[in-house]
Structure 1
Amino acid sequence: MVRPVTFQAETRTGAGPASRLALNVLGAPARGRGAVLREDCVRALLRTAADGGVGLVATRPVADVERLLGQCWPFPSPFRVTVRTVSSAEGVDRVEARARRSLERMGLPRGDAVMVSSACDLAGADGRALWDRLERLKDIGLFRRIGVCARVEDGPELLARRFRPDVVELPCNLLDQRAATSGLIAGLAEHGSAVHLRSVFAGGVLFAAREDLPLHLVQSGSGVSRARRSLAENRADPMQAALAYALNLPGVESVTAGVASAAELRAVLAAAHAPMPDLDWPALALDDPATLNAAGPSAVSSAA
């Protein structure tokens, strides 16, 4: 059942939309002189985030980003940090050790939330043991909250009833509005779970030139061209529209944007503060939003 979504107006007042943005720092590690330049880039990015009012940094245990963050935090740091776990296939002991290691690499005594990287890890035989181990990390004060990264197909409400996560992270964007229109976000709030959104830029599909779109999105009649044409006809910038949609959904605590430089972050901050465009939001959604799952990463904020 598709439910109408009523947007909340208060996100454009008070602390401002930037306070509800989460930053995901993208990029691969560099060596030699490149490493120095990379550190300068991350330092500038974090300074821009702090000055812009961004309060949350979402991290993943990949590449060398955690170490870079640890070397580049402004002092005093205004950021709260979420940490993703490695796969439970590596064993519960490894999951705990890597979560602790993430904090050590970033030079942090504690994190805001430790996030199970896939709902499948909780559905497996070791799901309860994994959750109990993370609860122990919360009990001793290493993390304030425990959460899970899920998809709509994972049945997040069932997970919320079973595990009572403090946070649930979901994909939701202009092209895939299922988390909002199905009532999932509202249902998770009823279970006491804060909702964080990812993939708000639809893997960069909203920004890509037609010739750069994955073949299945060009040929499947998925509606990407229709959505892009609608935005153009209404003179709506795709980034502004994407952020306005996500930031104004009721029940959403934070919206993650993946950026690789201070310049990209400045563009995101400007878009977040822009007036909300007057659009027919339901008309922008794809008829088959699951087709987005096969889309490859884009150069623009692919992890956002």
Structure 2
Amino acid sequence: MKSGFSSSPADRLALAVVTEPERAVPAPAGAREEAMRALLQTGADAGVTRIATRPNGDGERLLGQAWPFPSPFSVSVRTLSLADGLDRVEARARRSLERLGLPRGDVLLASCASDLAGAEGRALWDRMRALKDRGLYRRIGFVSTLEDGPVALARRFQPDVVQMPCNLLDQRPASGGVLDELAGLGVEVQVSSVFARGLLFTNRENLPPHLAGHGVALSRTRRLLAEARIDPMQAALAYCLGLPSVTAVVASLASAAELRAVLAAAHAPRPDLDWDALALREPAALTADPRVLVSTAA
């Protein structure tokens, strides 16, 4: 099994920089670019080496205009949905590198594991593998949920990387052994949604409708952390960084200030907590509507 531990928590963080209006502070174009430069320089100075991107909005373009020089970052790119067609998926994967101003990327991830499970899944994977063979991406993999059956897909496609949600509230990928199985197959395991799409930071009255019935359980988790005098962000990062099969922890953030908070929490001493007691008893509810983003951390 691969061990995800390294000498520094910052080295295991992957930054997913958010530029959507609901997260980022509205600002003129020049100010947005300067804010991106400040964020990236803060990460570089702290020893962060990974950036995770999506092919939506203008995030790739902003990143491409703001890299520090020399850039220490390796970059992962997600594909478009297969519903857009194979040709467009491939073209956009190439275009992502152009927008990022990079000759090559580190990882190309199929954005939806269900695309690989479908009729054109093998054709999609062959397109991605061809981009790897041409040297445009160093590694390929896919984004999965627990429900997608990532271990079976990994056995079928032999990816270099699998990224999937896992967090303090939904520990099923870890407790069920899925992360260990993936690592045992030689796959680099990355976890996302480490802050449970903001649920760790929201009050019961602000919960989306489909999670309203879980308000008591969420309040209980927050109370246990408060009694232990542990900040929710610190607990969330400590849990994910403590998973031995995990190589990278993807943290979503929108500013240098958020990054500084994440770095401080990641470097805090690991708390002695009953991790199992902090999980929701019905964690599948967290993935009932993935479009819901409650707060500023995803």
Same fold (TM over 0.5): yes
1:301 correspondence with 2:297: yes
Q: Which secondary structure state, in structure 1, belongs to the residue aligned with residue 276 of structure 2?
A: helix
TM-score, reference length from structure 1: 0.92
Q: 1:77-122: CA deviations, max 9, x gaps?
A: 0000000000111111111100000000011000010000001110
Corresponding residue to 1:28 among 15, 20, 26: 20
CA contact (8 A) 1:69 1:106 kept: yes
Look up the match of 2:167.
173
CA contact (8 A) 2:201 2:295 kept: no
Pairs aligned (count): 291
Q: Which amino acid letter does the alignment assign opposite residue 177 of structure 1?
A: Q
Deviation at 1:293, TM superposition (A): 1.6
Deviation at 1:301, TM superposition (A): 1.6
Map 1:1-304 onto structure 2 (within 5 A): 11=5, 15-28=7-20, 34-220=28-214, 223-294=217-288, 296-302=292-298
Q: Which amino acid letter does the alignment assign opposite residue 201 of structure 1?
A: F
Q: Which secondary structure state, in structure 1, belongs to the residue aligned with residue 201 of structure 2?
A: coil
CA contact (8 A) 1:171 1:200 kept: yes
Q: Which amino acid letter does the alignment assign opposite residue 10 of structure 2?
A: A
Q: Which amino acid letter does the alignment assign opposite residue 20 of structure 1?
A: R
Deviation at 1:50, TM superposition (A): 0.3
Q: 1:56-79: CA deviations, max 9, x gaps?
A: 000000100100000000011000
Aligned partners of 1:221 and 1:271: how far apart in 2? 25
CA RMSD of aligned residues (A): 1.7
Aligned partners of 2:278 and 2:27: how far apart in 1? 45
TM-score, reference length from structure 2: 0.94
Q: Which amino acid letter does the alignment assign opposite residue 235 of structure 1?
A: R
Q: Which amino acid letter does the alignment assign opposite residue 186 of structure 2?
A: G
Same amino acid, percent of matched pairs: 62
Aligned partners of 2:27 and 2:164: how far apart in 1? 38
CA contact (8 A) 1:173 1:245 kept: yes
Q: 1:119-164: CA deviations, max 9, x gaps?
A: 1110111100000110000011000100100000110000011000
Aligned partners of 1:100 and 1:241: how far apart in 2? 38
CA contact (8 A) 2:207 2:215 kept: no
* Structure 1 unaligned regions, length at least 5: 1-7
Aligned partners of 1:195 and 1:220: how far apart in 2? 29
Q: 1:156-183: CA deviations, max 9, x gaps?
A: 0000110001000010001000000000
**CA separation of 1:33 and 1:208: change in aligned 2, threshold 3 A:** closer
CA contact (8 A) 1:222 1:288 kept: no
Aligned partners of 1:77 and 1:105: how far apart in 2? 16
Deviation at 1:220, TM superposition (A): 4.1
Deviation at 1:33, TM superposition (A): 6.8
4+ runs deviating over 6 angstroms: none
Q: Which amino acid letter does the alignment assign opposite residue 56 of structure 2?
A: V
Q: Which secondary structure state, in structure 1, belongs to the residue aligned with residue 71 of structure 2?
A: coil
Deviation at 1:299, TM superposition (A): 3.1
Deviation at 1:222, TM superposition (A): 6.6
Which of 93-102 and 293-302 deviates more? 293-302
Q: Which secondary structure state, in structure 1, belongs to the residue aligned with residue 230 of structure 2?
A: coil
Aligned partners of 2:27 and 2:144: how far apart in 1? 39
Aligned partners of 1:106 and 1:217: how far apart in 2? 37
Aligned partners of 2:27 and 2:156: how far apart in 1? 50
* Structure 2 unaligned regions, length at least 5: none
CA contact (8 A) 2:207 2:294 kept: no
